[in-house]
Amino acid sequence: MVSSVNGIKNELLRLARLARRGAYAPYSRYAVGAAVFAGSGQIFIGANIENASYGLSICAERVAVFSAVASGERTIRAIAVQGSGKTPAVPCGACRQVLSEFGLPEMLVVVGKGQAAKTFKLGELLKHPFRIPV
């Protein structure tokens, strides 16, 4: 278990690369892996899973977040994403919205291509998340 968000970036990128091996992407041939750093300090991974009915496919980021939430987590502190393309895999709009449900605008989003990485804050990627007042 790791406690520092800044100290976790490289480990999250490494685990996202490993998670990418579990991707099921026969249609796009674009494998993506993700690793989330949850509020408890635990790390959860996910890979994209495609379906012949494209709307039923799910991104690696949401697989990792949903795995964390299904395990009882309610806060995501950081996420790393590694794609198999030529440029870093930045989370799509749906994933950004899901991340906003469980992370603060300051949450780190690390996108990598090999060993190179770029870091954003979630608030930079999703300026106006959808919210329902409770």
> Can you give 18-44 as a three-state secondary structure string?
HHHCCCECCCCCCCEEEEEEECCCCEE
Token pair listed for 59: 């991104």
61 is catalytic: yes
SS3 119: strand
Choosing from 50, 61, 73, 106, the catalytic residue is 61
Query: Are the beta carbons of 42 and 35 closer than 8 angstroms?
Result: no
Q: Which residue type occupies 6?
A: N
Instruction: Cite the active site residues.
Output: 61
